[in-house]
Structure 1
Amino acid sequence: MLINLITFTVGLLGVGLVAFGAWLILPAAGYIVAGSFCLLWSWLVSQAAARATQPAEPKNNEEDR
């Protein structure tokens, strides 16, 4: 459980630093980078939620036939 929290925190810090670095170059770029990371995060979470709600498919073993 702790490793998940640490991983999430480090990832969030990394996103913040990348967006801040882009903002230092050009303020609009910082907002674009931060928004892109938000969109990517939303897409990844929705993919994970969709996989979690799908029923498990039966495995096709050649030995069972």
Structure 2
Amino acid sequence: MLINLIIFTVGLLGVALVAFGAWLVLPAVGYMVAGAFCLLWSWLASRAAAQNVPPAPMAEDEGDR
């Protein structure tokens, strides 16, 4: 459990540092990089959540025909 928290914290810190570094070059680029990371995180989280959903049971009339 602690290792998951450490991994998440290091990843979040890495994203913040990349976005901040891009912001130092040009503020607009920093916002775009942060937004891209947010979109990537959202996509990965929704994909992981979709893999944990059990398949729907088949209706009685949908058997092998």
Query: TM (normalized to structure 2)?
Result: 0.82
**Structure 2 residue ranges without an equivalent (≥5):** 56-65
More helix by share: 1
Equivalents in 1 of 2:54, 2:3: separation in Å?
26
Structural RMSD (CA)? 0.7
Structure 1: any 5+ residue segments left out of the alignment? 56-65
* Percent identity over paired residues: 78
Match of 1:24 in 2: 24
Deviations 1:23-58 (A, max 9, x none): 000000000000000000000000000000034xxx
After TM superposition, the score normalised by the length of structure 1 is 0.82
Which consecutive segments of 4 or more residues in structure 1 shift more than 4 A?
Answer: none
